[in-house]
């Protein structure tokens, strides 16, 4: 896969994306910010440059915040099959764990393939959409748009009905969107 940053992050996006992928595989498909920070501690780790390590400048909580920025900013480069243009596709989505489990980052491909994770993402989307609606309720045209999105989100029952971004590569190494 080819990785790029969605925002300015120090460090090589390709190397950092590969390191995040390695960490995800070690952790049953989920990334925890503390694990990312711990993995990034050695100076030779590709993620190391993404963090502020001087304790007089940053605390551990700040580094966890930086880990969230790193994880949420990494994208896979794909080619739009219709336009031929390069597109950046989000790799991970933050999902609240079940019951007392903490929030974790899960690959979009895993969420799309797993009905339970997809339902958690859908419920989270509906809550965020409701908060968005409350924030912009005075704007009539936006309210109508949000209401339409809510109706469509309520009709969404299975992962197969969403536009899937599958982590798949063809022989040429091109990442494909399905």
C-alpha distances (whole Å) from 26 to each of 19, 85, 121 are: 11, 33, 22
Whether 99 has a pLDDT exceeding 80, the answer reads: no
C-beta neighbour count of 161 within 10 angstroms: 10
**pLDDT (mean) for 42-48:** 97
Show Cβ contacts of residue 44 under 8 Å, excluding neighbours closer than 6 positions: none
Which residue did the predictor score with more confidence, 170 or 48? 48
- pLDDT tens digits, residue range 119-148? 999 888 888 888 888 887 788 777 778 788
- Within the chain, where are the H helices? 13-26, 33-40, 60-73, 108-113, 115-135, 140-155
Nearest to 154 by CA among 131, 112, 123, 132: 123
The full 3-state SS of 133-154, as one line of letters, equals HHHCCCCHHHHHHHHHHHHHHH
List the single range of 5-9, 101-105, 132-136, 156-160 with lowest mean pLDDT: 156-160
CA 88 to the chain's CA centroid: 12
Q: Is the pLDDT of residue 165 over 60?
A: no
The reported pLDDT for the residue numbered 150 is 77
Mention every residue, 6+ apart, whose C-beta is less than 8 A from residue 39. Answer: 19, 23, 45, 47
Higher pLDDT, 156 or 40: 40
The yes-or-no verdict on residue 174 having pLDDT over 90 is no
- Asked whether residue 19 carries a pLDDT value surpassing 50, the answer given is yes
Mean pLDDT of 158-165: 41
50: DSSP letter: G
Using 50, 70 and 90 to split pLDDT, how confident is the model at 41?
very high
Separation of alpha carbons 34 and 121, rounded Å: 22
Please write the tens of the pLDDT for every residue from 66-81: 999 999 999 999 999 9
Q: What is the pLDDT of residue 50?
A: 95
Give residue 70's pLDDT: 96
CA distance 129 to 135: 10
pLDDT at 161: 39
Question: 129: which residues sit within 8 A by CB, 6+ positions away?
Answer: 146, 149, 150, 153
pLDDT for res 156 = 65
């Amino acid at each position: 896969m080819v990785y790029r940053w969605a925002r300015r992050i120090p460090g090589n996006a390709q190397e950092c994306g590969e390191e995040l992928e390695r960490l995800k595989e070690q952790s049953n498909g989920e990334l925890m910010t503390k694990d990312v920070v711990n993995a990034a501690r050695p100076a030779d780790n590709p993620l190391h440059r993404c963090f502020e390590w001087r304790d007089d400048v940053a605390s551990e909580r700040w580094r966890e915040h930086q880990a969230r920025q790193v994880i949420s900013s990494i994208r896979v480069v794909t080619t739009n099959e219709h336009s031929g243009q390069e597109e950046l596709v989000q790799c991970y989505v933050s999902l609240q764990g079940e019951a007392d489990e903490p929030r974790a980052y899960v690959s979009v491909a895993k969420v799309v393939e797993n009905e339970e994770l997809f339902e958690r993402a859908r419920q989270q989307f509906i809550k965020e959409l409701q908060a968005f609606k409350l924030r912009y309720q005075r704007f009539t045209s936006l309210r109508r748009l949000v209401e339409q999105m809510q109706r469509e989100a309520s009709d969404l029952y299975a992962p197969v009905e969403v536009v899937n971004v599958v982590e798949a590569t063809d022989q040429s190494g091109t990442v494909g969107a399905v």
